[in-house]
Structure 1
């Protein structure tokens, strides 16, 4: 089970870089490993840190569809 713990009052923006929303490099690596382990999808950790939520979601969707994120 994958969960990102975000305080209830904190709203995530699809357009703002994840690093500016509380994601730090170690969390990005942990998320990358969990996605690989649980879903078999390899998404660059940089995308999960420097990218936006929208970009990360697009990478995840591409990986689920068998493409490259």
Structure 2
């Protein structure tokens, strides 16, 4: 327990560069313009997102008898 108090009391505070209070993060190079996504990109993204969550849930629900403890 004394070691824990030692580390808490004498811990160094480190602020990552660019995240200092009162300053904004400045970029060294100009940002590229973002082009709007096509509807096909959006559809593919939504299908992948929903499949990621629904396929494992469907597998578990379809094999629920095997997962139950008897």
| Global fold match (TM > 0.5) | no
Bigger Cα Rg:
2
TM-score between both structures, scaled by the size of structure 1: 0.26
TM-score between both structures, scaled by the size of structure 2: 0.26
Higher relative contact order (CA 8 A, sep 6+): 1
